[in-house]
Amino acid sequence: MSDEREQLANLPHEDRIRSRKLAGSVATLIVDATGLSSTMRSNVEQELRSAVLEKGGVDEVRIAMTAAEPSRTLIAIGSGKGGVGKSTVSANLAVALSRMGKKVGLIDADVYGPSQPTLLGSHERVTAEDERLIPVEAHGIKFLSLGQLVSPGHALAWRGPMATGALTKLIEAYWGDCELLIVDLPPGTGDVQLSLIQRSRPAGAVIVSTPQDLSLIDARRAVDLFNKTSVPVLGLIENMATYVCPHCGESSHPFGTGGAEAAATDMSVPFLGRLPLSLAIREASDAGEPPATSGGPEAEAFEAIAAQLLKLLTHSS
């Protein structure tokens, strides 16, 4: 048995090998191919076959590929209106969750303003296999964006059915071993939101708002939509709450403060935390380097909200 283990040890794709057996000169491997396209499967099989034969003493390699549809938790990130920093929050929450050890995918479903390629610093065009899209990797997460399907600067002049059809393609992509799928929704309560709810049934929704009353009016509408469709609202995030002057250190509240927390209490929705109106967040986001990837108070703020979100998901499951 020890000779068998040594002979079939240290192979590529060790995390996918579920069983290995050596009988005489015949090696048999059972390999988990969950989430792999047909080309990916073929590559894994060929690499394993070559690695075993190179070790010597083996004349035949039998490889059985098995696959199961992975269980994923889908979280919708929404807002009642645009301009509240929803996409920035989505990107940084995805990165923060990844840094906590979760395998995360991010879907940019904002038909009218897909911004994740810029926020994540990757404008790589997506490819497809077996009519399914293959996500791009950046900052430890996988992501797909409607912005990757058109040339930069070109408008997505799509009506409802086209937008919802594209969303289905993004969700049904090769997400591999992703445990969490974060969906950055467009603002409002329209076709894309309803399509996501009807076809994919999120485990929960997170609403992003600024503290000001105008933003909170629309945030309440977003909460109402998810409540009416029986999707749990996991919490409210207050964005752009406090601005600290980089010169004098004085704090101010251009959009007010505490409004989202008060609204969350009023609606009996968890309050996940608040994020600052920060020059550092803006500069890092424009540069394609999410603040959650580095240290500092901005990263800590996103990490605290991600931890709260994980706790709520654990309790609701």
Picking from 29, 46, 66, the residue at the C-terminal end of a domain is 66
Same structural domain, 103 and 36: no
Same structural domain, 127 and 204: yes
Same structural domain, 101 and 137: yes
Using the 8-state DSSP alphabet, how is residue 148 labeled? G
- What domain range includes position 36? 2-66
Same structural domain, 41 and 87: no
Same structural domain, 212 and 147: yes
Picking from 49, 66, 83, the residue at the C-terminal end of a domain is 66
Q: Residue 211's domain is classified under what CATH number?
A: 3.40.50.300
The count of structural domains within the chain is 2
> What pTM, to 2 d.p., does this model score?
0.79
Same structural domain, 181 and 56: no
Same structural domain, 25 and 104: no
Q: Residue 26's domain is classified under what CATH number?
A: 3.30.70
pLDDT at 161: 67
Same structural domain, 58 and 163: no
Same structural domain, 61 and 77: no
- Start-to-end CA distance of the chain, whole Å, equals 41
pLDDT at 219: 92
CB of 279 closer than 8 Å to CB of 66: no
Same structural domain, 30 and 88: no
pLDDT at 159: 61
Same structural domain, 141 and 10: no
Structure tokens at 7: 């002979």
Closest CA to 261 of 204, 310, 195, 308: 308
pLDDT at 267: 94
Q: What is d(CA 289, CA 227) in angstroms, rounded to the nearest whole number?
A: 34
- How confident is the prediction along the chain (317 residues), in pLDDT tens digits per residue? 445 667 788 899 998 999 999 998 999 999 998 878 788 889 999 999 999 999 888 999 999 998 876 678 999 999 988 889 999 999 999 999 999 999 999 999 887 778 999 999 998 888 888 888 999 999 999 999 987 876 666 656 566 667 677 788 899 899 988 999 999 998 877 788 888 888 888 999 999 999 988 889 999 999 999 999 999 999 999 998 877 777 777 777 777 778 888 999 999 999 999 998 888 888 999 999 999 998 788 899 999 999 999 999 887 66
Using the 8-state DSSP alphabet, how is residue 172 labeled? T
pLDDT at 118: 92
CB of 75 closer than 8 Å to CB of 182: yes
Picking from 66, 87, 102, the residue at the C-terminal end of a domain is 66
Q: Tokens 């090769």: give the residue.
A: 174
pLDDT at 69: 67
Instruction: Check the CA dihedral 295-299-301-302 and report its sign.
Output: negative
Same structural domain, 311 and 288: yes
Q: What is d(CA 176, CA 182) in angstroms, rounded to the nearest whole number?
A: 15
Instruction: Check the CA dihedral 78-79-82-87 and report its sign.
Output: negative
